[in-house]
Structure 1
């Protein structure tokens, strides 16, 4: 009872502080008798319940339940849940990135921007990790490091992220099978704490190496994604051949300052020696002979440079590596059908992720070239959820692809048919995350 009384009195003082200036608070607390205090409390409480109940709950939760998942309270304050407790972190610029986390509505303008996106992911999944089965505060089970890191959530989103910590020679290595000659890499980033004082050398280094452990290797290729904000620093690229640095070493002109504040999606395509890199919808790097050692480097690694410890933070999720990345157009024309895992949707939704537009664009090019071709578009889901819901969702997703072909690329709707198969035709085990990722697919079949 004593604790309840203290909480009640604290809550009353907190409510007063939300609506009164410091001078008014001091005078009120000095003059109020018990009867007046109760009356004032009822008045303020009614006002708060009507106008600011949500804000009050957030403040009380942060004090009385510090381990509760954080929430975005005001501009510049972003909640993070880690293995310890809710962490308040960020600034005005970081909040710009946080605003994208729990937005489940697709932005039509963004889809239009991505309509010229020409990245096409590989068609054979090798690795996927969104950390769905990992515990908050743990290091992910499908990764290795010689440093540290942990899984967190951001704001009220169910998505999980791995924090990549800066450190001398600290590397993060996902358990990707040995990389083939042709493959694609994709991942989402979230940065916090960036401002005009962020170092020009604050970067994420993406490394392809012939060393499977924590060394550079004899042959490797690097790209550094910059996060500095006070100038456009460009994307650095370099390769080393047989331990000699006499190969490529350059900075590609790029102003991605705004992009890195707003949850950038990074796409990389390797086709033997050719190396291409996109930030969101724009391709910045396209080097014909970037990959040494005959076009084969076995291991993907990540390294964070010069983020200020405790202030500037970097997180990664949705890491996907696929074998292939070949032109789907030729397959569709020659074989009359093609299946892809590269058209992605928001979880449980028909909203197409804009970075999937490269595939839809290629399909539109085939239809424009082959004027007598009609297509059946079939959606497939994994087995999460009930069967009837998955069947309905798969058909709606197929229809969403039809709608994109019609509205963005001008394809006649009379040439397209949408169909859903739900979870009825799995290609792989739905008990594993990799298997589920491969079962979520879209087929295009000539009719």
Structure 2
């Protein structure tokens, strides 16, 4: 047996110490670089170099009328199709654990170049308002399981999507037309630097209405990995043959921790996808032609059971998504429920800027056009309060057009109808969503 002398033991410990110290130094160096990169990403998202201090003050007044300084986290909006408030990096699931807060709310200046426009004829909306916590939602189907939960202190309900081989979640969306939009919010808990590079949420458009990929499909995969930039992947099959599979470079590690809002626009064969205000995918011929892909599904892969959890809420599918600029010029009037407000207030949600930006482009191009902006509410609350709120919301839209896009205030008038002119019933989330809208009328 080989004897270990004191000298050799000391030399071994010294070597181990030097190696460990050097390793820690390398680790700290890497962590420093990652922290610096994360800070750069945050600054890039939140700073508009062309925005002056005066514009910042105006934007704050739009987001939080009557307040100055840093904007507070928004309350859940009273419009469908947008984020139900920014809950940060969800502090916990009812009965589970969560992650620390990782960021604040988005601001209008960031979204001022957001060009997504949702469809104007709602086909499906579900925020699970009529379902009970712990149940599987009544307007969905699955070949596995799932239940509704709340995250942290928010009353918003979320559907937990189980991860596994070919586990599908299929909302009861009517047959998809050739042109439509899809929106939803994502939540996640348990993510860390060990989260797999295969951890992804797949949004599938398919010709199969059950629990298989189908012979014709198109999908996008949103990554949840935290240790590397994975990118967004798109793939399709047309008549059983794959024609496209590609991964677009995208670093979504920060966004995925902050309950991102996902927007998808399908215009015949063209497929576009936004995460919050940024467009990552724009493929002109991803979707099979002729409305072959009539069903939307969700599938998750690569998450550790019992540790990493993925949730979805506020799913909205709407037919259309046409260019509102042409419609306003040709018809002289448009109505949209894609302008979002905080619940019970006239505080604009940043996702509203896609529509407002298009309105500004019409006004800048057609200098002879003047518009009346008319707000409408659902029937929740009193008549007088709703009338007042509808007028304040119309004024908030006008203020955004004037302050952000430099439209002459004299070309815009405002009015509100409260709940007096519904276009649908007020007894369901879908009906209320249709009634909460803003009209633009050429004068």
Q: Structure 2 length normalisation: TM-score?
A: 0.78
Q: What is the CA distance between 1:288 and its match in structure 2?
A: 0.6
**1:97-112 equivalences in 2 (<5 Å):** 110-112=107-109
Cα root mean square deviation, aligned: 1.6
Deviation of the 1:295 alpha carbon: 4.7
Pairs aligned (count): 356
Q: Paired residue for 2:17?
A: none
In structure 2, distance between residues paired with 1:165 and 1:216:
17
Checking the alignment, whether the CA contact within 8 Å between 2:260 and 2:275 is kept in structure 1 is yes
**Aligned pair 1:171/2:168, yes or no?**
yes
1:283 maps to which of 279, 285, 306: 279
Quick one: distance in 1 between partners of 2:347 and 2:306? 35
Contact 1:219 1:293 in 2 (8 A): no
Matches within 5 A, 1:104-143: 110-143=107-140
**239, 260, 268: which one aligns with 2:256:** 260
Q: Deviations over 1:342-364 (max 9, x none)?
A: 11212222122211211000000
2:74 is equivalent to residue 78 of structure 1: no
Counting only pairs closer than 5 Å after superposition, residues 170-249 of structure 1 correspond to structure 2 as: 170-245=167-242, 247-249=243-245
5+ residue gaps, structure 1:
1-74, 82-86, 101-106
Structure 2 SS opposite 1:240? strand
How far 1:293 moved relative to its partner? 4.5
Partner residue of 1:41?
A: none
Q: CA deviation at 1:165?
A: 1.2
Flag as ranges the 4+ runs of structure 1 deviating above 4 A: none
Deviates more, 1:318-327 or 1:369-378: 369-378
| 1:315-326 equivalences in 2 (<5 Å) | 315-326=311-322
Shift of the 293–162 alpha-carbon distance from structure 1 to 2, 3 Å rule, reads: same
Match of 1:7 in 2: none
Deviation at 1:76, TM superposition (A): 9.1
Maintained 8 Å contact 2:90/2:258? no
Partner in structure 2 of residue 89 of structure 1: 97
Q: Secondary structure at the match of 1:350?
A: coil
| Cα 1:77–1:301 shift into 2, 3 Å | closer
- 1:431 correspondence with 2:439: no
SS at structure 2 position matched to 1:249:
strand
Distance 1:356 1:319 in 2: 17
Tell me the equivalent position of 2:414. Answer: 418
Is the 8 Å Cα contact of residues 147 and 167 (structure 1) preserved in structure 2? no
Say which of 375, 380, 401 aligns to 1:384: 380
Deviation at 1:307, TM superposition (A): 1.0
Tell me the alpha carbon deviations over residues 304-353 of structure 1, each in whole angstroms, 9 at most, x when there is no partner.
11111111111111100000000000111111111111112122221222
Given candidates 142, 145, 150, the residue that maps to 2:147 is 150
Give 1 or 2: higher helix fraction: 1
Q: Which residue of 1 aligns with 2:3?
A: none
Aligned to 1:301: 297
SS at match of 2:241: coil
Deviation at 1:418, TM superposition (A): 1.5
What's the secondary structure of 2:112's corresponding residue?
A: helix
Alignment equivalent of 2:403, drawn from 403, 407, 426: 407
Higher relative contact order (CA 8 A, sep 6+): 2
Structure 1 residues 242, 156: closer, same or farther in 2, change over 3 A? same
- Cα distance change, pair 333–77 in 1 and its aligned pair in 2 (3 A): closer
